[in-house]
Structures are given as C-alpha cells and as structure tokens.
Amino acid sequence: MAGEPILQTHTLGKLFRARLNPTRQRWAVRNLSLEVRRGDVFGFLGPNGAGKSTTIRMLLSLIDPTEGDVFLFGHSLRRERQKALRSIGGIVEKPDFYLYLSAHKNLEIVGALNGGSTSKRIFEVLELVGLEQRAFDKVKTYSHGMKQRLGIAQALLSHPELVILDEPTNGLDPQGMKEVRDLILHLAHDQKKTIFLSSHLLGEVEMVANRMAIINNGELASQGEVTKLLDEGEKYVVIKGRPVAKLRSLLSRQKLVKKTVEKNDAFHVTMGFADIPALNKILVRGGISVEALIPRRSLEDFFLSITEQQSKR
C-alpha cells in the first residue's frame, strides 16, 4: 500500500569504543527514530561525520546497533533478520568490484551469493543504469560515474522494493551527478522503488526527495516532507541595487521588512514573499536601480539553520 511505513528505526544508537582503551567511547548515532514510507524518495542529510554511513550500516545489518531496533516491512532486524532484509538492496559509500572482470561477471558473482541471477536479469539491471553496451568491458576501464551506476545495478539485482544508497553522487562531476539523479527519479517513478538516499549534497536531494531527515552529531535534527519543512524555514529575498546607500536607507524604513542583513553588495531581506511586488514598486519609485530581487528558501539555508541551532544546545 502506497504511503505505508516500510522502514522504521526506534531509538537507534551505536556506541564505538576504542580497542586499546575501552573507556574511550563515542556515540556515532544516538536515539534515532526515522520513518520511510512506501513510494518515498527519502533524503537522509547531514554533514560529513554526522552518522549517516553508520546508520546505513545498521539498516543493512552490517553492524549491530548498541541500542534500539530497525523494522523493515514490519520485521524486526534483531529478531527476524532474513525476513527483514528480503526486499532490500543497497550500497554503502564507494562500491567495490573485481576491476579485471567485466561488469556482467561482477554481477554474476554477486548474484551467486543470493542464490543466482540469470543473464537476462543482469542485462535488465545494466540497461536500467545505462551500462548494457559496456556489459563485457572490464570494470577497470569504467569512469567513476560508471562504477557508481554499476553499484546501483548491483543493489537492484535481487528485485528489491527498498533501495538504500549511501552518497551515490560522491566525487562525480556535474554530468555524472545528473545521470545518477535521473536514474534515482526513474527508479522511483517508473520502477516504483522506494529510495533511501544519504547525501551531504543538499541541492541534489532537494531536486529528487519528497521527504527527508536531517541528522547532526548522530542525532535527529528534523524530519518530514521537504516542502513543509522548507515552508517552516525562514524566507528571505536577496536584493541588489544602486545606489547602495540609498537602498540601505529605504529598506531600513519599510514596514514590510522584518530584518535586513548586508552581504557582499547585496541585502538579505526577511519578509513575506507575497509583499515582493509592493517592495519592488517602492524601491523603483524611490530612485533605486534594482539589479536583482531573488526569493530564497533553499534546503541549504534550512539545513544550516537546523544544524547550527542543534550545535548551540
């Protein structure tokens, strides 16, 4: 059923202790409760070192949590590991392959670990990621972007309903990032896969995700629908104009303006977006040559505000 929860974490936590000095310990993830629904492209955001990869390793049962539990399709990962992982595919960080073997052979080996995959299925997933023409080329001849797409093909091999991708665009050039982004949208919309997408590239997530969670210092900072979370964030307008001194003076006297911050020959003005036309008219009538008037409410701004607030606690 579309919209039903298929991945949930309940107060999930992971404590790491130093081998030589067990008294030295660090919570990489703490008290993390997430909910991913069927049909989501779920963005899992956080700065480097926030605990994203540790969380994904727990979701895929590569490491055991110190506390809490993961429920996949209603099955507890602690008590029903095989049932829980039956419909999951994923890659963690950089996918590894036998470089001197072909893509087809690499997928054949991976498939054998899960009971075997037919050549037809291997070609199906290679076609999905746009690599069918390079199926029998050695992986060492692949670009970084092609290896990332081959990693996604590997995750898709067993017909998973939920695909977990850890930083799939990491290290890619703009063209490679677009290819992976288009692939994610294709998997979600045309293949009806649920996607759990970990990334620190906020703009990429903003373009594909419908729901998201932000993690910082191992703890959940925010979770919900992308559009609603952005609506809760502070809205502002970037204004550039000449003469600057006159623009500064005019903005300081406007009731429509709640706050003004000057940055690099521009003014970041906190105000309602519905009042933008009225403010523009005031500026023009006041003798300002308006060069730019840009509404801003980006995921990057929201992300920074959330993580900065949490860091001050």
Higher pLDDT among residues 143 and 203, named by residue: 143
Residue 261's DSSP bridge partners are 268
Judged against a pLDDT cut of 80, whether residue 203 lies above it is answered with: no
**Structure confidence at residue 82 (pLDDT):** 92
Judged against a pLDDT cut of 80, whether residue 312 lies above it is answered with: no
Of 196, 231, 266, the position where a domain reaches its end is 231
* Phi, psi at 280, each rounded to 5°: -60, -40
9 and 95 in a common domain: yes
Structure tokens at 121: 């299925």
C-alpha–C-alpha distance, residues 123 and 110, integer Å: 14
214 and 82 in a common domain: yes
pLDDT digits (tens, 9 = 90+) for 20-44: 777 788 999 999 999 999 999 999 9
Place of tokens 């590239």: 201
**Structure confidence at residue 2 (pLDDT):** 61
Residue 238's DSSP bridge partners are 268, 294
**Structure confidence at residue 234 (pLDDT):** 65
Of 231, 249, 272, the position where a domain reaches its end is 231
In a domain, 301, yes or no: no
Q: What is the percentage of the chain residues whose pLDDT exceeds 70?
A: 93
- Considering only CA atoms, which of 206, 204, 148, 198 is closest in space to residue 174? 204
151 and 13 in a common domain: yes
153 and 55 in a common domain: yes
C-alpha–C-alpha distance, residues 148 and 143, integer Å: 9
Residue type, 110: V
In the sheet that holds 162-166, the strands lie side by side as: 88-91, 162-166, 194-199, 41-45, 211-216, 219-225
Least confident among 30-39, 52-61, 112-121, 152-161: 112-121
- Considering only CA atoms, which of 165, 199, 162, 202 is closest in space to residue 37? 162
In a domain, 288, yes or no: yes
140, 155, 159 from 89: Cα distances, Å: 24, 5, 8
Judged against a pLDDT cut of 90, whether residue 240 lies above it is answered with: yes
**Structure confidence at residue 201 (pLDDT):** 77
Number of domains in the chain: 2
Higher pLDDT among residues 32 and 91, named by residue: 32
Instruction: Answer whether 75's CB lies under 8 Å from 7's CB.
Output: no
The CATH number covering residue 198 comes to: 3.40.50.300
Mean pLDDT of 56-78: 95
- Cα 13 to its chain centre, rounded Å, is 20
Residue 263 domain boundaries: 234-296
* Phi, psi at 35, each rounded to 5°: -140, 120
The CATH number covering residue 290 comes to: 3.30.70
pLDDT digits (tens, 9 = 90+) for 165-202: 998 888 888 888 888 899 999 999 999 999 999 987 77
Judged against a pLDDT cut of 90, whether residue 48 lies above it is answered with: no
pLDDT digits (tens, 9 = 90+) for 137-175: 999 999 988 999 999 999 999 999 999 999 888 888 888
pLDDT digits (tens, 9 = 90+) for 251-305: 999 988 888 988 878 998 888 888 889 999 999 999 999 998 888 766 666 777 6
pLDDT category of residue 308 using cuts at 50, 70 and 90: low
Of 203, 231, 259, the position where a domain reaches its end is 231
Residue length of the chain: 313
203 and 91 in a common domain: yes
245 and 184 in a common domain: no
256 and 202 in a common domain: no
